[in-house]
């Protein structure tokens, strides 16, 4: 069987009808978070779409992003996307290992120079020449630079690749940095989340596949279609927030009634992601629906943004020490100033000479 050149050929080879293709297009449109009226346009674009090569680089990461993707909830759809994309290198998923694996990457880079997509999960350590993470004796930093050189676009998958994530959390011992700090001359899409929602990963890839370019991005380089609204804005518990009805603990009456989790540390208001609509595990639920506040895992520096169970309006870190020092310093300075002024006054009183009539006459003349 010859390698299919376009998606439609690929589907025909699999015996999928035009009707099936249209269903696929409707679902892909949905997956890209585009309005259903765009489905015919998506169909037209996919008819001529070419098969891109995808190189997946895993750096300082926990493989949670790949786990998320392989447990994605619409296997048929993702299968097609991933079968259609030529996943030429992914050191966790590929059968080859060692030199053969690295060769696959180099071959893909050579054959598709300027055309291939690079997906990165994990942050890149740059301290001490990047020695803290290496693959096949090549530092992550070097491998990224090598691989990105001929890429058409880079997709940073997960919060580590997008913003540095856990490795970059204080005190960042490896000098970890996100992809966007190292790749300046190629389009970079950040698909943040710890892990990201699988359908968001495939949605971004589908977008590239369909339109041949990356989707519209927000200020953090994330696709607007998925990261355009906050969890809070789309949260089904939002009406309770508006009414001021909050769960105070995880097992009180408010928690049982499904009231807002703001006071239990929910970061929904400052977190932009699609969890509240797309949800997890085949659209079953998402953290807030399960009774736990949002961690804000798709935002930069979420590990350093205070305790997970601290309300957003509370301070980060204790103020007790600062307050004690301030009281001591303020009291010391205040007492000193007060006493100094008191003695000044007493001194002035002692120096005070009574004015006589003669003095006044003198000054008049």
Partner 1 sequence: MTSTEWLIWVRGPGLQLSLGIFILGMTYRIMQTYFLGRAKNLAEPRGSQWLHGMKTIWWRSFFHPGMTIRGYFTIISGYTFHLGFIITLLFLDQHIELFRSWTGLSWPALPPIVITITAVLGIAALVAVLVDRFADPVRYLLSDYQDYLCWVLTVLPLVTGLLLVYKMWLPYTSLLVVHIISFEILLVAIPFTKLSHVFTIFIARWYNGAIAGYKGVQS
Partner 2 sequence: MTASADDDQQPPRFNAKPILNEIRHGVDRLLNDGQTTTIDLSRLPFDAEDERYLREALGDGEVYASVNALGESKVQETGVAGVWWVTHFDAAGAALGKYIEITTVPGILKSQPEDMLRGLHMLNARLGADQTITSVQEQQ
**Residues at the interface with partner 2 (CB under 8 A):** 16-24, 26-27, 30, 33, 35-37, 39, 73-77, 234-236, 239-240, 243-246, 254, 257-259, 276-278, 282-283, 289
Cβ distance to partner 2 smaller for residue 158 or 254: 254
CB 88 within 8 A of CB 108: yes
Q: Counting contacts by CB under 8 A, is residue 333 touching partner 1?
A: yes
| In the complex, least distance from residue 2 CB atom to partner 1, rounded to whole angstroms | 48
Q: Counting contacts by CB under 8 A, is residue 253 touching partner 1?
A: no
Q: Counting contacts by CB under 8 A, is residue 348 touching partner 1?
A: no
| In the complex, least distance from residue 181 CB atom to partner 1, rounded to whole angstroms | 12
Please pick, from the candidates 134, 230, 277, 289, the single residue that binds partner 1 as defined by CB under 8 A: 230
Q: Counting contacts by CB under 8 A, is residue 136 touching partner 1?
A: no
| In the complex, least distance from residue 216 CB atom to partner 1, rounded to whole angstroms | 16
Query: Could you tell which of partner 1, partner 2, none binds residue 323, using a CB distance below 5 to 8 A set by kind?
Result: partner 1
Both structure tokens of 84 = 């259609």
Alpha helices in the chain (DSSP H): 7-13, 18-31, 39-48, 64-70, 75-84, 98-111, 140-148, 159-163, 165-168, 179-182, 198-211, 224-227, 231-234, 238-243, 253-256, 275-278, 320-351, 357-364
If binding means CB under 8 A, how many residues of this protein chain bind partner 1? 46
CB 4 within 8 A of CB 51: yes
| In the complex, least distance from residue 286 CB atom to partner 2, rounded to whole angstroms | 10
**CA 358/CA 354 separation, integer angstroms:** 11
Question: Which of 32, 56, 54, 58 has its CA nearest to residue 43?
Answer: 32
Please pick, from the candidates 96, 131, 136, 331, the single residue that binds partner 1 as defined by CB under 8 A: 331
Please pick, from the candidates 27, 45, 301, 309, the single residue that binds partner 1 as defined by CB under 8 A: 301
| In the complex, least distance from residue 1 CB atom to partner 2, rounded to whole angstroms | 18
Cβ distance to partner 2 smaller for residue 30 or 298: 30
Question: With 0-12 CB in 10 A as exposed, 13-18 as middle and 19+ as buried, what is 19?
Answer: exposed
Please pick, from the candidates 281, 313, 351, 356, the single residue that binds partner 1 as defined by CB under 8 A: 313
Instruction: Tell me the three state secondary structure of residue 319.
Output: coil
Cβ distance to partner 2 smaller for residue 19 or 184: 19
Both structure tokens of 187 = 């389009």
Please pick, from the candidates 5, 50, 113, 243, the single residue that binds partner 1 as defined by CB under 8 A: 243
**CA 365/CA 363 separation, integer angstroms:** 6
Question: Which of 59, 37, 15 has its CA nearest to residue 166?
Answer: 59
**CA 133/CA 140 separation, integer angstroms:** 6
Q: Which parts of this chain interact with partner 1 (CB under 8 A)?
A: 219-220, 230, 232-233, 242-244, 246, 262-263, 269-270, 299-302, 304-306, 310-317, 319, 322-323, 325-327, 329-331, 333-335, 337-339, 341-342, 345
């Amino acid at each position: 069987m010859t390698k299919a050149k376009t998606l439609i050929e690929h589907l025909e080879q699999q015996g999928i009808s035009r009707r099936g293709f249209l269903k696929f297009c409707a679902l892909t449109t949905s997956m890209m978070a585009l309005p259903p009226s765009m489905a015919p346009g998506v169909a037209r674009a996919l008819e001529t779409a070419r098969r891109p090569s995808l190189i997946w680089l895993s750096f300082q990461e926990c493989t949670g992003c790949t786990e998320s993707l392989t447990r994605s909830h619409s296997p048929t759809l993702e299968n097609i996307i991933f079968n259609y994309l030529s996943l030429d290198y992914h050191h966790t998923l590929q059968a080859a290992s060692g030199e053969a694996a690295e060769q696959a990457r180099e071959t893909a880079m050579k054959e598709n120079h300027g055309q291939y997509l690079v997906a990165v999960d994990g942050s890149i350590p740059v301290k001490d020449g990047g020695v803290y993470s290496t693959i096949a004796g090549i530092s992550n930093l070097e491998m990224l630079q090598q691989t990105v050189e001929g890429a058409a676009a880079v997709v940073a998958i997960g919060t580590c690749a997008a913003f540095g994530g856990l490795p970059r959390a204080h005190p960042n011992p490896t000098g970890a940095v996100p992809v966007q700090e190292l790749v300046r001359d190629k389009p970079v899409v950040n698909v943040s989340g710890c892990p990201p929602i699988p359908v968001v990963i495939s949605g971004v890839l589908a977008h590239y596949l369909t339109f041949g370019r990356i989707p519209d991005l927000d200020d953090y380089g994330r696709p607007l279609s998925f990261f355009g609204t906050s969890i809070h804005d789309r949260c089904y518990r939002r009406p309770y927030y508006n009414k001021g009805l909050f769960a105070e603990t995880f097992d009180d009456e408010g928690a049982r009634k499904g009231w807002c989790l703001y006071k239990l540390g929910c970061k929904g208001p400052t977190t932009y992601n699609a969890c509240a609509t797309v949800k997890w595990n085949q659209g079953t639920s998402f953290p807030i629906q399960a009774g736990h506040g949002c961690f804000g895992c798709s935002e930069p520096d979420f590990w350093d943004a205070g305790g997970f169970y601290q309300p957003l309006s509370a301070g980060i870190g204790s103020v007790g020490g600062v307050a004690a020092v301030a009281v001591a310093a303020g009291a010391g300075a205040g007492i000193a100033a007060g006493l100094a002024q008191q003695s000044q006054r007493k001194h002035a009183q002692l120096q005070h000479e009574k004015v006589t009539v003669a003095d006044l006459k003198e000054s008049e003349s």
